Amino acid sequence: MTNQTNGKWRQVSHRHCIFIVLSVGVVLFLQYSSIKEMAPAWNPKQWMQNHSTKLFILFRKQYIGLGNANRSEVEAISTGNVTTPYSTAAIISAELPQVERISSTQKPKTKRQTTVSPEVIQQVLQPQTARPTPGTYISPGPYLVEYPYEYHFTINEPQKCEQGKPFVVLMVPVAPHNIAHREVVRSTWGTESLVLDKVVMLFFLLGMQTGDDSNQVHEQLLHESKEHKDLIQSDFVDCYKNLTIKTMVMLEWLNLYCSNASYAMKIDSDMFLHVPNLVQLLINAPKTNYMTGLVAHGGQVLRNPSSKWFLPHELFSPSVYPPYALGLGYILSLDLTNKLIEASRHVKAVYIEDVYLGLCMQHLGLVPTDPPGGSLFHVFPLKYDQCVFSKIIATTVEPFNDRVKMWTHFKAEGPYC
């Protein structure tokens, strides 16, 4: 009888133990799931709480020796970065050459007089080739704008603005490997260094090349920088999804090293630029809180996932963008650089860089200014005509056009019209 009772007791005990173990497991699972659900979503205030002096989402440092971290390529429609891929980069850390460490607390330390079209003066006086193919890039995930907590300028010209005292600085974002576009700019409107007695300076802004040819491209850039002294490079991956990073790096550089200038213009490398008309506009422009270009009003947010400019609702919920200056070419007064940097710490990052600046302007309570006359900037390519081009500031150009030949004809002696 006792043995029978003991056997039943052991069976009951085993069942109780199994039941207790399963119950504990269920409780732990539910508790863990609840904690995950309770975790707050990322928001810009967390950057400030974490003592961040930079922008966007924290990410590991991105270096030049990127090994096999490769990228796919998608043609960018409104930028000279003709091979900037539509994705972010998986990074493998490696040693960099000697570079200059940057923080937001640092402080920076062929003449041709050309005429301006009378039509432009009237407007502004109104009130106001073959290359190595990178391997396939695999994105770590969509809609992550990577921005390192600390970054370095691997190629820099820290004293050039201080010594040259420019009135306006032309900042040209371009892919690291795209020397062809840089040479075209240097041979055309980039030659205009003194216009209407105002100093104009040109710089090319680069990120890091990825793929098997990264070391080769870096060596070429060092040689190019030594020859021309117009390259600014920072250690973020140069790709389409990182154009917002590129823009914020540009603002950081201007704030650190070129704050003595009055204005800066960001312009794509495949554009035509009439520098005298630009300078004439700025001579009469506001000195502070000023941004202009081809300003988009009431731009619809694209929700089609197949669109290059698709933004999901969870990333950006409004259906209409605030006013913003299109990224093909916009101008800002240099007091705005630090203000936009500060605003970016409170504005959720999106990878469409010109829209993002519009969001930062909105945060500051500012609106980009429409240019006088409404015909100085053109997003759709104008057919080349010397008279027509003499009346604009900037336009996109058909890719099959020989821009050097076009420029030579445009600068020929004689009246434009």
9, 15 contact by CB (below 8 A): no
Report how far apart, in Å, the C-alpha atoms of 224 and of each of 99, 236, 258, 283, 407 are: 17, 20, 21, 33, 23
Sorted by sequence, the CB contacts under 8 Å of residue 381 that are 6+ apart come out as 395, 396, 397, 398
How far from each other are the two terminal CA atoms of the chain, in whole angstroms? 120
DSSP per residue, 180-231: HHHHHHHHTGGG--EETTEEEEEEEEEEE--STTHHHHHHHHHHHHHHH--E
CA distance 70 to 211: 5
CATH number at residue 327: 3.90.550
Look-up of token digits 């491209």: 217
Secondary structure of residue 44 in the 3-state scheme? helix
The predicted-structure confidence for 380-408, as pLDDT tens digits, reads as follows 999 999 999 999 999 999 988 999 999 99
391: nearest Cα among 124, 46, 29 = 124
Q: Is residue 124 part of a domain?
A: yes
The answer on 373 and 304 residing in a single domain is yes
User: Could you give the dihedral angle defined by the CA atoms of residues 318, 324, 327 and 332, in that order, rounded to the nearest 10 degrees?
Assistant: -140
The answer on 25 and 141 residing in a single domain is no
For the stretch 386-389, contacts whose Cβ atoms lie closer than 8 Å and that sit 24 or more positions apart, written own/partner, are: 386/410, 386/416, 386/417, 387/416, 387/417, 389/272, 389/274, 389/416
Report how far apart, in Å, the C-alpha atoms of 181 and of each of 96, 130, 131, 173 are: 26, 12, 13, 10
The answer on 244 and 115 residing in a single domain is yes
Q: Is residue 10 part of a domain?
A: yes
CA distance 230 to 171: 10
E strand intervals along 70-145: 100-102
172, 192 contact by CB (below 8 A): no
Q: Is residue 94 part of a domain?
A: no
100: nearest Cα among 157, 60, 59 = 157
The answer on 271 and 132 residing in a single domain is yes
- pLDDT value of residue 52: 36
Tokens coding 200: 């104009």
250, 173 contact by CB (below 8 A): yes
Q: Is residue 93 part of a domain?
A: no
Q: Looking at the 3D structure of the chain, how many domains does it have?
A: 2
The answer on 105 and 9 residing in a single domain is no
Which segments of the chain have a pLDDT < 50? 2, 5, 9, 12, 32-113, 124-125, 127-148
Q: Is residue 365 part of a domain?
A: yes
The answer on 325 and 218 residing in a single domain is yes
- pLDDT value of residue 173: 98
The answer on 128 and 8 residing in a single domain is no
The answer on 326 and 227 residing in a single domain is yes
Helices 243-257 and 336-344 sit at what angle, rounded to 10 degrees? 140
274 HSE (CA, 13 A, CB side): 27
- pLDDT value of residue 14: 63
Q: Is residue 80 part of a domain?
A: no
- pLDDT value of residue 246: 94
The predicted-structure confidence for 40-94, as pLDDT tens digits, reads as follows 333 333 333 333 333 333 233 333 333 333 333 333 333 333 333 222 232 222 2
Q: Would you tell me how many other CB atoms lie within 10 Å of the CB of residue 305?
A: 8
Domain, as residue range, for 249:
100-410
180: nearest Cα among 204, 158, 197 = 204
- pLDDT value of residue 119: 55
Secondary structure of residue 268 in the 3-state scheme? coil
The answer on 241 and 110 residing in a single domain is yes
| Angle ∠(353,359,364) on CA atoms, nearest 5 | 130
The answer on 7 and 114 residing in a single domain is no
Q: Is residue 72 part of a domain?
A: no
